[in-house]
Structure 1
Amino acid sequence: LVARLPEPAFRLPREKPPPRPRPPTRWEQFARLKGIRRRKRTSLVWDEQAKEWRRRWGYRRAGGDPARAWLAEVPEGADPEEDQFARLRREKRERVARNELNRLRNLARAHRAGTAVPAAPLHPTGHQSREELGRVARVARVSTASLGRFQPRLPKEPAEPPSRSGGRKRRFEPLLGNLAAERSRQLELLRDMGSKKPVLDITRAVNKQLRQEEAEAAAAKGKKQSQRGKRGRRQ
């Protein structure tokens, strides 16, 4: 006779009792009583003006462009005969050009190539002139910053003259070159390290310490005199 026994199993006893079910909150009880179900909002909605499905939030959202609105409010103190829809479209173009200007400036600063356009002071209203915004738009069209090549000026624009106060650049020794000069520098360094004469100028260091102590003493003395004067005025 052959008998197949079940696989041995060992049940480990539980240290703590199983957790109790969480009681429903007041809102869950109210929703269950009223039959309210949680529904997920879709990201696309129907735009009645554009007659197409558009995003609920973000760029090109449904009903988000004020220039496409059928009603435009006339600001207080504005000309009632002015076309408000044209004003909204013009402000949008200026805002887009200003954002492009900031993008080009940030890109030029990141590449250490200078600003794309010379920084011009903004008007009190926060808007730049139409000439400046037009120039920014032309530079943005000519520039190839998205391809990794930045062109800070227009093709026929004259180049800026170099600054006269050019800084001095550090010169580094070549990695491969004169071995005799490198050997002499190393020997001189070893000679200074092995000599008994200290590398530090003790006289200069002592004079510097004395000047610092005199300055601190003068500052403390002036502070005490000012405190005495204040006490005399209080009396």
Structure 2
Amino acid sequence: MEAEEESMDVEAILSAHQSKFKSTEVNKEVELQFDLGRLLATDLNEIEAQSLKTKQKDGYLLNLMRDNTQLLINEIWKFPVENNDGGISVQLPSPKTVLPREKPIPKEKEPTKWEQFAQTKGIAKKKRSKMVFDEKSQEWKPRWGYKRINDPKEDWLIEVPDNADPYEDPFEKKSEDRKERIAKNEYQRLRNIARADKSGRVKAPLPPAYAAKLNKHQVTHALGMARKSTASIGKFTPKLSKEPAAKSAGKKSKFRPVVGKKGEERALNLEILKKMSKKTDILDVKKATSKFISDEHEKAHAEKQQGIRKKKNKHVSHKAGKKPVKLMKQKARRKKR
């Protein structure tokens, strides 16, 4: 009897539990099409148009979504299940539905001049080794970077040919040649970018305010601004090779040297003495007279304006009730008569 009562209690609990949740078995007139690789379920059944027009539209759509999701999960559980440390997993098949591409396929870049030349001559691209053997020091050195081979800082002695200029600094010439090579390589790189872009404009690395496509004048303006952004306002900033002079730069004032040649100083002093010893006046008489006449005209005009103001003030005081003395005497005589 006790066992029967317990079985009845379990059945009651199960029935109450099943009444809360819907069944996992869903029946459809037309079976759904599945693409389990994409976790996609396509429902081809007709939708009840009347139920969408009523107030119970949200409940209808929610039930439809629940049934289709249940069918998709039922299809997934048909595959063999594996128990792992992370939980239960299922190996899904490869997807069948082809999704559209978000962005267009990138176009192939146009080959540079060197790539075209290497293709015509049959030159294959080889990866260069990082280390190179230096015959001078008989050591292996890196091709670039710290303590690289043919480092100009390590050249403390340079052989000067017989036909070289004796007044030319070979170290300075070597550094200038290196700067010119770097500038040439950078120019060729930007030219290849412009050729590939087919717009004739170079996308150079500039500040955020000039990051858009710029023309030649805007690039030179940005270069001038970058040059003047230093603490010395570009006074000690070295110029690039073949760099055009800035149009906005004004004329620099030239001063005579403090210590100069004796002949120049003597000539300047003699010129001053000649001007002082001349009988004729150094003063420009015409300029002085015109200045005096203009000053006199300004003075007369100021006096005239001052007289007009005084007359106006008298007229205002008479109107305000301040009668002059002559009018008072005339009124007194009339009363006596």
What TM-score results when the alignment is normalised by the length of structure 1? 0.29
What TM-score results when the alignment is normalised by the length of structure 2? 0.21
